[in-house]
Chain A
Amino acid sequence: MALLDIKNVTKEYRKGDKSVAALNGVDLAIEKGEFLSIVGPSGSGKSTLLNIVGCLDTPTSGSVLYNGRELGGLTERQLSDYRRDNIAFIFQSYNLIPVLTVQENVELPLVIERKYSKSDMARKAVAVIESVGLGTMADRLPRELSGGQEQRVAIARALVKDPLVVLADEPTANLDSATAEDVISIMQRMNTDRATTFVFSTHDLRMERHAKRIVTLRDGAIEKDERRQ
């Protein structure tokens, strides 16, 4: 059984009187531990697919199954709980909370989970901050960091709760080459070491190069689905 099973998903948006199809009958099964890149031109439906997989958005038709459980029809609260317990996000523009320090930003998903003691949260956060190479910057605020450092914090924030799936929307788009390589290698390491499933949309060829599976979208439909060794 696939970890995530997307079955015949369509997504339509209203644009005035017109209906625009962002996804058009997408079928995709994602196994545990995949390092999957979704590629395609702008407007092909990459972000929409990630949003639906992450339960940030709901499909117009079709279904999304997580570990065999249908996610359609969940209440707002159940969707929040699903995201909290299973999914982590990395955003193109980092989206750190500006008033929280690096460590507090990383602790945030654990605080939302409400499963850990204060000391356990601190311990886990420090460990993951060190693993992304920012051990000396735990007390800094996001405005004191470079773009690359901010994205590493975002990765640490995504990984701190040991999620089964990390969804990343263009994670290297705002980074220079060297920093992008760093970020990719961290994600790869986490994928290898923790068997964390990574699904990321990208235009970045460097990221594509490291992907174990590349799904190409065009006009809201899967054009190509290739696996690499």
Chain B
Amino acid sequence: MGMILKIALRNIGRHKRRTVLSAITIAAGLMAFICMDSLLTGVDRMSIDNLINLSAGALKVQTAAYEKEKDSFPLTFALDSALAPLAASLAKQKGVRHVTPRTQFLGQLSNYEETVPVVGTVIDPAADTLVFGLKPCLSGAYFGPDNIREIIIGKQLAQDLGVGVGDNITLYALTKYDSRNADVFKIAGLLSTADPGINHSGVFMTYAAANDFLDLENSVTELDVAIAKDNSLPHFSRTVQGIQKNLQRDFPSLRVNTFLDLGAGVMELTRAKRASGFIIMGIILIIAVVGIFNTVFMSVYERIREIGVLRAHGMRPRDISTMFVLEGVITGLLGSALGVATGSLLNMQLVTAGIPMEKIGGSIATASYGVAGTVYGQWNIPAMTVVFLLGISVATLAGIIPARRASKIQVTEALRFT
């Protein structure tokens, strides 16, 4: 085996340019996959974080009746009597950091020339900032606790209506008792988030304002829960699902949904992105297979006489085959190691510095992926290990066919070959 390995290694060194080209083909494939996987994982994580930070929280608790009618955002199916025991139970759950109430309603916003349908969200300004991340996306002012004459709206919505911070605008909605109401509010701030729903149709007001405008009487239709941050999404998901299970057991009349349930669309998109990533990886690997196959085949063709000599000296066909397979394995090992090394270096940059979304597709990318700002890569060691082994396996398989062919060449023909 030692001599076979020695011959294989030296032949690889003998055709440096060809070996380097083949190794680079594999390395480029692996590097591209590592970076792409890192960015996709980063985008996934970012869109999930955005989902949690802007609209879903880690957990959302509503009444079962509300969930059935949720598309109309009814004010009547409030948590009310369940609120206090629910808050007490949540306080005991391990991992729960903060809880905030929210109440959503449908309305219309008008500048007297144009009327736009909106989704209103009533918030507790102080508690909401502990669960949701609206404040960093805000231009203008946030609410004070007793603010009853101000609203915050989506930036795109403001642009559609031609209004800005400090302008007055009329909001129409049905009160809790189904009577139509309209009032003028001053725009305190504009929200530019990664959630197009908030940007295009989001209106936020305090419970103080909603008690006055919607006769809300502090009715809370959902309780949103923040769970301790965790870099591992699977671990975080398990924690959240554990709390969901406990709450659902203790409050069977309520409906407890996790961000995974609420973000089914985002999760579906994540799976689709993963699938496209693997298709691209497959194409890259096919290119690598052709490269390695060509390299080993050329090597066999150039060394037919050498094969004849080795066979004449009694080397068995299997050993001849092993020698050429080894060349494929070594080339694959070189390429895979190079790919993982360069991929890791590039990924380090993606993880630390990130890429501004604008540079990879602007508003289209922002809308498609539900993220905005800078996307940061994520380390995915299991995926890196898999592609490293895959690179070597593919190179080995690509070397097997020409190697088998080499072992079957007739000795006399090989010795006559010029």
Contacts and interface: CB of A to CB of B under 8 A. Distances in A.
B10 interface: yes
Interface string B287-331: 000000000000000000110111111111101000000000000
The prevalent SS among residues of A at the interface is helix
B309 A51 contact: no
Given A56-B312, A80-B315, A112-B313, A99 B415 contact: no
A88 B316 CA distance: 15
Interface stretch (B1-9, B113-121, B143-151): B1-9
B314 A85 contact: yes
Contacts of A51: 412
Interface stretch (A103-111, A191-199, A200-208, A215-223): A103-111
A84 B11 CA distance: 24
B184 interface: no
B238 interface: no
Given A51-B412, A111-B3, A97 B306 contact: yes
B415 A91 contact: yes
Given A109-B314, A112-B315, A113-B314, A99 B14 contact: yes
Interface string A23-48: 00000000000000000000000000
Interface in B62-118: none
B314 A112 contact: yes
Contacts of A85: 314
Contact of A81 (B6, B14, B314): B314
Contact of B312 (A76, A89, A98): A89
Interface string A88-102: 110100010111100
Contacts, number: 67
B411 interface: yes
A80 B2 contact: no
B309 A111 contact: no
Given A80-B314, A112-B315, A56 B412 contact: yes
A171 interface: no
A97 B415 CA distance: 13
Interface residues of A, number: 28
A57 interface: yes
Contacts of B306: 95, 97-98
Nearest to B318: A77
B317 A76 contact: yes
B311 A80 contact: yes
Contacts of A80: 311, 314-317
Interface string B1-42: 011001100110110000000000000000000000000000
A83 B305 CA distance: 17
Interface in A163-181: none
A54 interface: yes
Interface in A148-194: 157
Nearest to B414: A56
Contacts of A77: 316-317
B411 A56 contact: yes
A83 B313 contact: yes
Contacts of B305: 95
Contacts of B311: 80
Nearest to A88: B313
Interface string B178-200: 00000000000000000000000
A85 B315 CA distance: 11
Given A99-B7, A108-B3, A57 B313 contact: no
20 contacts: A56-B411, A57-B412, A80-B314, A80-B317, A82-B314, A84-B313, A84-B314, A84-B315, A95-B306, A95-B309, A97-B7, A97-B309, A99-B13, A99-B14, A108-B310, A109-B314, A111-B2, A112-B319, A113-B314, A157-B313
A-B interface, 7 closest residue pairs, ranked by CB to CB distance from nearest: A84-B314, A99-B10, A111-B3, A83-B314, A95-B309, A56-B411, A57-B412
Given A56-B415, A77-B316, A97-B309, 15 more contacts: A56-B411, A56-B412, A81-B314, A82-B314, A84-B315, A91-B309, A95-B305, A95-B306, A97-B310, A98-B14, A99-B13, A100-B6, A107-B3, A109-B313, A112-B314
